[in-house]
Amino acid sequence: MTQETKPHVNQNTPTRGHVIIDDVSIVFSGRNAETTAVKNASAEIKPGEFVCLLGPSGSGKSTLLNAVAGFIAPTSGAVRIDGEQINTPGPDRGMVFQQHSLFPWKTVLQNIAFGPRVSGRGNSTPLHEARAFLEMIGLSKYADSYPKELSGGMQQRVGIARALANYPSVLLMDEPFGALDSQTRAMMQENLVSIWREFGTTVLFVTHDVDEAVFLADRVLIMSAGPGEIIKEVKVPLARPRGPETIASAEFVALRAACLDVIRVESLKAFERQNE
């Protein structure tokens, strides 16, 4: 990648993307009853930190992530980013979903250029920005292709590039690799960590996969079976960069076991509730 096409990267210690989740509860009102999806969740994520939300199905992980994104308003409590309370979506937060949300009628290049075109963020023209990010993810030759012509992993790489092209302070990811095969998933995880280290963007990543959480994160926040509470924090002091050898290390195995012990108990609770 030439210097001219390289995206602007913050080489300094990150100062943006300080996330405060302050005693957040989220209650949904149904026709006959109310359901508490998230209960009294509190967490602090420092600028540039990579944090995974881990928990069994129905633990409120995605709901809490959507509150940080501004898609859902907390019933009580508040989410703040860099001191500002979050009430609506904004360009300071990029979002990547499990299923790609690319515009099918736009080319790969046009998809990535969309955000800079609308927000005016970036250091050059939207198309120039888009080409720089496309080169960064190794898909320059697919600039004029449409999403349907790409593999699942390639679609997600474009989705990540599109989210980063706005230079958000926080990148929110909702099980983005859940639909990929194991080999592609492993490659995507390594690629994501490489991009994150280069940009220094704060990442909040939702997953139900313990191995993925431990491999990616600086810290893992484990949520209980619904209603979702953050019941345990596991710090991950594994050296970076991480690769296939990391997964085989004794430190990784021990951290994985610590997370699995909690997840096993919470998954059993969820299973028992479904059968009551």
Which amino acid is located at 125 in the chain?
A: T
As a whole number of angstroms, the distance between CA 131 and CA 112 comes to 8
pLDDT at 8 over 50: yes
Asked if the model's pLDDT at residue 1 lies above 50, the reply is no
pLDDT value, residue 166: 87
Contact between residue 179 and residue 98 where contact means Cβ atoms under 8 Å apart: yes
Cβ-based neighbours of 37, under 8 Å, separated by 6 or more: 26, 27, 28, 60, 63, 226, 227, 228
83: left (phi over 0), alpha (psi -120 to 50) or beta: left
User: For residue 248, is it within any domain?
Assistant: yes
Helix (H, G, I), strand (E, B) or coil at 198: helix
- 196 belongs to a structural domain: no
252: Cβ–Cβ under 8 A, 6 or more apart, which residues? 214, 215, 238, 246
Q: Are 201 and 48 in contact (CB under 8 A)?
A: yes
State the average pLDDT over residues 161-168.
Answer: 90
Domain of 271: which CATH number? Answer: 3.40.50.300
Beta bridge partners of 172: 95, 204
CA distance 6 to 128: 10
> How far apart are the C-alpha atoms of 88 and 162, rounded to whole Å?
20
Does residue 157 register a pLDDT over 60?
yes
pLDDT higher than 60, residue 5: no
Q: What is the DSSP letter of 253?
A: H
Query: Is 187 contained in some domain?
Result: no
pLDDT of residue 3: 45
Average pLDDT over residues 195-212: 94
- Provide the pLDDT confidence category of residue 225 given band limits of 50, 70 and 90: confident
Give the span between the Cα atoms of 268 and 276, in whole angstroms. 12
H helix and E strand count, the chain: 8, 10
Which pLDDT band holds residue 129 (cuts at 50, 70, 90)?
A: confident
Percent of the chain at pLDDT above 70?
Answer: 92
User: Would you state the pLDDT for residue 2?
Assistant: 47
Mean predicted lDDT score pLDDT of the chain: 90
Confidence of residue 160 (pLDDT cuts 50, 70, 90): very high
34 located within any domain: yes
User: pLDDT tens digits for 30-65?
Assistant: 778 889 999 999 999 999 999 999 998 888 999 999
Does residue 155 lie in a domain region? no
Rounded CA-CA distance 115/97 in Å is 16
**Amino acid at the residue 39:** K
pLDDT in tens, 238-250: 999 999 999 999 9
Q: What is the pLDDT of residue 115?
A: 79
Residue at token pair 């009102």? 29
Structural domains counted in the chain: 1
Global model pTM greater than 0.75: yes
Q: Is residue 21 part of a domain?
A: yes
Q: In the prediction, which pLDDT does 210 show?
A: 95
258 inside domain? yes
In a domain? residue 126: no
Residue 91 near residue 82, CB atoms below 8 Å: no
Give the domain extent around 232. Answer: 16-92+207-276
